[in-house]
Amino acid sequence: MIQGEATVVKNAGSHYLLSELPAWEVFPAVLRGKIRLKASEITNPIAVGDRVRYQTEEDGSSTITEILPRKNYVIRRSTNLSRQAHIIAANIDMAYLIVSLYFPQVKLPFLDRILVTCEVYGIPVTIVLSKTDLYRQEAGEQIEAFRKIYEGAGYRVIQTSVETGEGVADIREACRGGINLFSGESGVGKSSLIKALDPSLSPKIGSISTAHLQGRHTTSLYEMYPLQSGGYVIDSPGLRGFGLVDLEKEEIAKYFPEMLRVSAGCRFTPCTHTHEPGCAVKAAVEEGLIAQERYSSYLGMLEEDKKFR
């Protein structure tokens, strides 16, 4: 009997596919008995990216015996109201959130909500501004304004175009060695970007549509692929559905990194950063150190929070 540790690269329904990364030698394994689900609202015990212990018998069959602790994970709820959630991927080194200023146009409050979710789950984010060849001429200033908002908040922003090749090598470089989740609304150019990173993935990418995401077997749709240049990609359609976390009102500002940084200077604790005198966050917004757009998204989240209580 051989024992080892490996990473889950695919949920194949009745079994899982594992590989001992960084080697890409995929083999099947089944889950032994029932592994207890800790969080009751989670419907699947194992997700792509999970690190597991396994053992292989004389006859060559392998069994997963233990799931190792996760450093982070992303979940998706099947509907907004659903209490039940699937873990769609675990142990993400970087999530690339792909957005475009046009065709389709990103809504900043929506992006900010996703960013908050990633902060809550401890997932590092790079924002990818895609398809820049389509609007660089007419909208150069908007591109700069967008970069200023998000770089100011502390996020890396990479501009890409698969037409001109801009940014593709930067992303390829950043992906080396890690597990990278690519996510974006339909039409932002996510599939095109992954194919540009590694043309050999072409037949495999883009097969999950957002329509598939309603089903019960959502988790088996997610799969990890090796990049020829190093590192791994998980293709995740749609950002909607993982923007949903329940946060207490007082907690929200903690997940805006630029607000968290200055909030120690607020006169009152807790401070909602709305009406309190001596609020360091409001002062930073007035001085232009925190983007008005980000602050507006924060206020929007506070308001929404009130609505549901």
In the list Zn ion, ligand GDP, none, the entry touching 51 (Cβ below 5 to 8 angstroms by class) is none
Distance CA 78, CA 16 (A): 22
Quick one: which of 266, 285, 290, 291 contacts Zn ion (CB under 5 A)? 266
Strand-pair category, 232-237 with 179-184: parallel
Distance CA 16, CA 9 (A): 8
Among 41, 94, 100, 134, residue whose Cα is nearest residue 236: 94
104 near ligand GDP (CB under 6 A): no
Q: Which stretch binds Zn ion (CB under 5 A): 9-17, 208-216, 224-232, 261-269?
A: 261-269
**Subset of residues 205 to 244 that bind ligand GDP, contact rule: CB under 6 A:** 206
Shortest spacing between CB 272 and Zn ion, in angstroms? 7
Quick one: which of 191, 218, 236, 297 contacts ligand GDP (CB under 6 A)? 191
Among 98, 11, 4, residue whose Cα is nearest residue 49: 11
Distance CA 123, CA 83 (A): 22
In the list Zn ion, ligand GDP, none, the entry touching 11 (Cβ below 5 to 8 angstroms by class) is none
Strand partners, 236: 183
190 near ligand GDP (CB under 6 A): yes
Residue 66: phi and psi, rounded to 5, are: -160, 145
Shortest spacing between CB 184 and ligand GDP, in angstroms? 5
Distance CA 107, CA 65 (A): 44
101 near ligand GDP (CB under 6 A): no
Strand partners, 3: 55
Site string for Zn ion, 272-291 (x = CB under 5 A): -x-----x-x----------
192 near ligand GDP (CB under 6 A): yes
Helix 136-153 / helix 292-307 crossing angle, nearest 10 deg: 70
Q: Which stretch binds ligand GDP (CB under 6 A): 14-22, 43-51, 108-116, 127-135?
A: 127-135
Helix 190-197 / helix 168-175 crossing angle, nearest 10 deg: 70
**Closer Cβ to Zn ion, 125 or 281, answer by number:** 281
DSSP-H helix ranges across 154-199: 168-175, 190-197
45 near ligand GDP (CB under 6 A): no
In the list Zn ion, ligand GDP, none, the entry touching 271 (Cβ below 5 to 8 angstroms by class) is Zn ion
SS3 content of the chain, % helix, strand, coil (to 5): 30, 25, 45
Strand partners, 42: 85
**Closer Cβ to Zn ion, 85 or 281, answer by number:** 281
Asked if residues 91 and 51 have their Cβ atoms less than 8 Å apart, the reply is: yes
Q: Which residues contact 290 (CB under 8 A, 6 or more apart)?
A: 152, 153, 258, 259, 262, 281, 284
Quick one: which of 134, 245, 247, 260 contacts ligand GDP (CB under 6 A)? 134
In the list ligand GDP, Zn ion, none, the entry touching 281 (Cβ below 5 to 8 angstroms by class) is Zn ion
Quick one: which of 53, 109, 121, 133 contacts ligand GDP (CB under 6 A)? 133
Shortest spacing between CB 122 and Zn ion, in angstroms? 24
Binding site for Zn ion (CB under 5 A): 266, 271, 273, 279, 281
Binding site for ligand GDP (CB under 6 A): 130-131, 133-134, 161-163, 184, 186-192, 206
